């Protein structure tokens, strides 16, 4: 084969590869955009002030989903209360304290593995430990505790990542001024890493807000009043959506898609704001 | 009097307490993981001793509520296998292709947009994907293949494949990003085209990271619950093609745990199913982590 024909062939292959790979990327992006568009298209007509602020009426076919939104808010807030202290401290441990030993490697391995445990397995675990063994019953507390276990690895990894991006010089400067190790962490490292930690936590919690399988048997009921204590059952957006989508007697479809839109929009708006805030903060702080 | 340097005793004590708390939190992950294994095992004990683990793993009928109850996992395992296979066929080639394009061909602006969109996709709750699947995919499969029902392993697999896409794309993109650019420049300087550089240099260098991405995608596919529960049909038979309704391990647990007597044999059998799922995903994740660690060590400088 002559040199020119080899070059010609390489150019042709290059072109084909570009097109094939480009269409893979376009398809992946296209699917996401299509899903978003479809949810908005089906759900937008349901969204009204009434839908967001009133309780359901007439077997869920009329009225709104206010108690459902509040239920998801309670569950997520409970999850945050339980997981953030432990998760952030664990992140601090891994970034600032952990020695380079086999044991630390085991801790990291456990975190990676926790992230891969299926959500339904967390559900089983929640039933066995929080609902039954702890005697909390089906409750916001049991559901939030289950979701906290599920979210823990996400919070730990994002906190550690954020802490690691703080330059070593800042720590050494603080230590050189006579601050103790903990004071250095509290006054220098944590404030510098705060945008990353906050954003990572929000991303993790918004994932928890959309989870169905872990709360299926630990927290939710299809119909429950707005919870009065952490020990009461609650309604939640993902579960509400699941029941309405699969039950035999379908409620009005616009209610189903409206709920889906509220869930997706809520999660993505919060994510988007968090991610934007982080990138703004990153630009503001320069080392 | 001896004078001590450093902070006063009260500060020292407070710091000691906080340090203990931090170290204890660091160990929380191990604790939770151990607790999950313990509780699954303890709750599954009854079924494992009365029915036998091997009888469950190899039994091909699952009639947990009949007079002569049988607890065979094979229908669920086979269903999970079909769903996972279809999902991987969808998401592995497409995901890696998209990752190669985003990392090696796209400009920085395209790169940012694609990443943002894929991050958005990762944030869609799986129950919403199930809903979209019910509305679009299930009727389409029913009509296209002339089936009695569109609720099949195929429908669930396609949707799970879409679900795993963000994991595979972002992780393989990371792996290729970690390849030092000197290698690329060296290859281009020798006269290779971009595509030749990709398949001769970048992909081999990032191979273990890409493999880990596929493994994590596989782990997600096996464990995904809501999509499978809503789309696979949950039939009782052992499926021999993806075109029939099938039950899966997560789907069976999610479908039946609400109706069982707490502490009964059926309840216990569902926990054994959870334990099987836990062991499978644990092994898959361990493999991914092992390979990833090797890759990390390779490019650490």
**For chain A, how are helix, strand and coil distributed in percent, rounded to 5?**
75, 0, 20
Whether residues A120 and B274 touch (CB distance < 8 A) is answered with yes
B258 to chain A nearest CA, in Å?
Answer: 6
In chain B, what residues touch A222 (CB-CB under 8 Å)?
A: none
In chain A, what residues touch B117 (CB-CB under 8 Å)?
A: 29, 32-33
**What is B252-290 written as a DSSP string?**
HHHHHGGGSPTTSHHHHHHHHHHHHHHHHHHHHHHHHHH
pLDDT digits (tens, 9 = 90+) for B3-35: 566 677 887 888 889 999 999 998 888 999 999
ipTM: 0.90
Cα A163 from Cα B47, distance rounded (Å): 46
Whether residues A114 and B33 touch (CB distance < 8 A) is answered with yes
Write the residue in B36, B42, B165 that is nearest to A117 by C-beta: B36
Whether residues A120 and B162 touch (CB distance < 8 A) is answered with no
- Residue of A12, A125, A161 for testing the chain B interface, max B β-carbons within 10 Å: A125
In chain B, what residues touch A101 (CB-CB under 8 Å)?
A: none
Beta bridge partners of B70: B63
Q: Give φ, ψ of A91 to 5 degrees.
A: -65, -40
Rg (CA), chain B: 24
By the 8 A CB rule, do A168 and A184 touch? no
pLDDT band at A58 (very low <50, low <70, confident <90, very high): low
- Residue of B8, B11, B28, B115 for testing the chain A interface, max A β-carbons within 10 Å: B28
Cα dist. A280→A206, A237, A276, B18, B203 in Å? 20, 31, 6, 32, 33
Whether residues A245 and B131 touch (CB distance < 8 A) is answered with yes
- Which residue, A228, A227, A259, is CA-closest to A243? A259
pLDDT digits (tens, 9 = 90+) for A184-205: 999 999 998 988 899 889 989 9
Residue of B nearest to A149 (CA): B32
pTM of the model: 0.91
Helix (H), strand (E) counts: chain A: 11, 2
Angle A228-A147-A120 from CA coordinates, rounded to 5°: 120
Residue of A nearest to B94 (CA): A24
Whether residues B132 and A245 touch (CB distance < 8 A) is answered with no
Write the residue in B43, B124, B162 that is nearest to A128 by C-beta: B43
Exposed/middle/buried for residue B87 (C-beta within 10 Å: 0-12, 13-18, 19+): buried
Write the residue in A42, A124, A246 that is nearest to B253 by C-beta: A124
pLDDT band at A59 (very low <50, low <70, confident <90, very high): low
Whether residues B97 and A25 touch (CB distance < 8 A) is answered with yes
**For chain B, how are helix, strand and coil distributed in percent, rounded to 5?**
75, 0, 20
A50 to chain B nearest CA, in Å?
Answer: 22
Residue of A nearest to B273 (CA): A121
Whether residues B124 and A97 touch (CB distance < 8 A) is answered with no
Whether residues A107 and B101 touch (CB distance < 8 A) is answered with no
Q: What are the structure tokens assigned to B171, written together?
A: 């992780």
**What is B110-129 written as a DSSP string?**
HHHHHHHHHHHHHHS-HHHH
Cα B223 from Cα A244, distance rounded (Å): 23
Whether residues A107 and B282 touch (CB distance < 8 A) is answered with no
Write the residue in B30, B169, B193 that is nearest to A10 by C-beta: B193
Residues in CB range of B32: below 8 A, 6 or more apart: A114, A149, A152
Judged by phi (left if over 0) then psi (alpha if -120 to 50, else beta), residue A167 lies in: beta
Each of the 301 residues of chain B gets a pLDDT tens digit; together they read 555 666 778 878 888 899 999 999 988 889 999 999 999 999 999 888 888 888 888 888 888 877 778 888 999 999 999 999 999 999 999 999 999 999 999 888 888 888 888 888 888 999 999 999 999 999 999 998 888 888 999 999 999 999 999 999 999 998 898 888 899 999 999 989 999 999 899 999 998 889 999 999 999 999 999 999 999 888 878 888 888 889 999 999 999 988 888 888 899 999 999 999 999 999 999 998 888 887 777 766 5
In chain B, what residues touch A46 (CB-CB under 8 Å)?
A: none
- Residue of A101, A121, A207, A247 for testing the chain B interface, max B β-carbons within 10 Å: A121
In chain A, what residues touch B220 (CB-CB under 8 Å)?
A: 116
Residue of B nearest to A99 (CA): B23
Cα dist. A198→A216, A268, B23, B296 in Å? 28, 16, 21, 27
Residue of B nearest to A159 (CA): B26
Write the residue in B27, B101, B274 that is nearest to A107 by C-beta: B27
Cα B198 from Cα B211, distance rounded (Å): 16
Write the residue in B29, B36, B120 that is nearest to A111 by C-beta: B29
Whether residues B39 and A17 touch (CB distance < 8 A) is answered with no
In chain A, what residues touch B7 (CB-CB under 8 Å)?
A: 180
- Residue of A4, A32, A37, A142 for testing the chain B interface, max B β-carbons within 10 Å: A32
Whether residues A110 and B30 touch (CB distance < 8 A) is answered with yes
Cα A275 from Cα A269, distance rounded (Å): 10
- pLDDT of A254 strictly over 70: yes
Whether residues A24 and B97 touch (CB distance < 8 A) is answered with yes
What average pLDDT score do residues A144-163 get? 94
């Amino acid at each position: 084969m002559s040199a020119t024909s080899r070059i010609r062939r390489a150019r042709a292959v290059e072109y084909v590869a570009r097109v094939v790979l480009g269409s893979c990327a376009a398809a992946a992006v296209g699917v996401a955009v299509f899903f978003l568009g479809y949810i908005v298209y089906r759900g937008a007509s349901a969204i009204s002030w009434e839908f967001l602020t009133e309780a359901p009426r007439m077997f869920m076919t009329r009225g709104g989903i206010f108690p459902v939104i509040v239920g998801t808010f309670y569950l997520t807030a409970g999850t945050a209360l339980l997981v953030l202290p432990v998760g952030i401290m664990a992140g601090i441990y891994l970034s600032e304290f952990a020695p380079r030993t086999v044991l630390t490697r085991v801790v990291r391995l456990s975190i990676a593995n926790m992230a891969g445990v299926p959500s339904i397995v967390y559900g089983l675990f929640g039933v066995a430990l929080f609902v039954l063994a702890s005697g909390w019953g089906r409750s916001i507390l049991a559901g939030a505790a289950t979701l906290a276990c599920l979210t823990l690895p996400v919070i730990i990894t994002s906190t550690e990542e954020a802490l690691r991006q703080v330059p070593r010089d800042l720590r050494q400067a603080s230590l050189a001024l006579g601050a103790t190790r903990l004071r250095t962490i509290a006054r220098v490292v944590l404030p510098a890493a705060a945008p990353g930690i906050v954003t990572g936590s929000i991303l993790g919690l918004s994932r928890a807000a959309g989870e169905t399988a872990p709360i299926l048997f630990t927290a939710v009921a299809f119909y429950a009043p707005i919870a009065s204590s952490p020990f009461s059952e609650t309604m939640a957006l993902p579960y509400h959506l699941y029941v309405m989508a699969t039950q035999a007697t379908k409620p009005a479809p616009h209610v189903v898609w409206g709920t889906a839109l509220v869930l997706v929009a809520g999660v993505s708006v919060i994510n988007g704001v968090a991610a934007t805030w982080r990138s703004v903060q990153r630009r503001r702080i320069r080392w | 009097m001896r004078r001590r340097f450093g902070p006063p005793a009260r500060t020292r004590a407070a710091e000691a307490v906080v340090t203990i708390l931090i170290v204890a939190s660091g160990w929380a992950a191990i604790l939770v993981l151990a607790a999950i294994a313990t509780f699954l095992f303890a709750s599954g004990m009854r079924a494992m001793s009365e029915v036998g683990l091997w009888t469950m793993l190899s039994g091909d009928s699952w009639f947990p509520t009949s007079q002569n109850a049988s607890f065979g996992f094979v229908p669920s395992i086979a269903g999970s296998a079909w769903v996972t296979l279809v999902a991987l066929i969808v998401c592995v080639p497409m995901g890696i292709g998209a990752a190669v394009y985003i990392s090696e061909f796209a400009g920085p602006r395209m790169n940012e947009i694609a990443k943002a969109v894929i991050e958005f996709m990762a944030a869609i709750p799986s129950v919403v994907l199930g809903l979209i699947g019910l509305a679009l995919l299930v009727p389409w499969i029913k009509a296209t293949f002339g089936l009695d029902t569109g609720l099949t392993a195929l429908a669930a697999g396609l949707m799970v494949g879409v679900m795993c896409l963000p994991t595979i794309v972002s992780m393989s993109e990371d792996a290729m990003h970690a390849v030092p650019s000197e290698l690329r420049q060296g290859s281009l300087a020798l006269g290779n085209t971009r595509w030749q550089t990709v398949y001769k240099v970048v992909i081999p260098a990032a191979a273990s990271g890409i493999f880990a991405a596929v493994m994590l995608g596989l782990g997600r596919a096996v464990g995904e619950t809501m999509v499978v529960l809503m789309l696979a049909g949950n039939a009782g038979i052992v499926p021999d093609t993806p075109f029939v309704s099938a039950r899966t391990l997560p789907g069976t647990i999610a479908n039946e745990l609400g109706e069982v007597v707490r502490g009964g044999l059926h309840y216990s059998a569902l926990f054994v199913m959870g334990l099987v799922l836990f062991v499978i995903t644990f092994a898959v994740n361990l493999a991914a982590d092992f390979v990833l660690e090797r890759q990390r060590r390779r490019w650490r400088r």
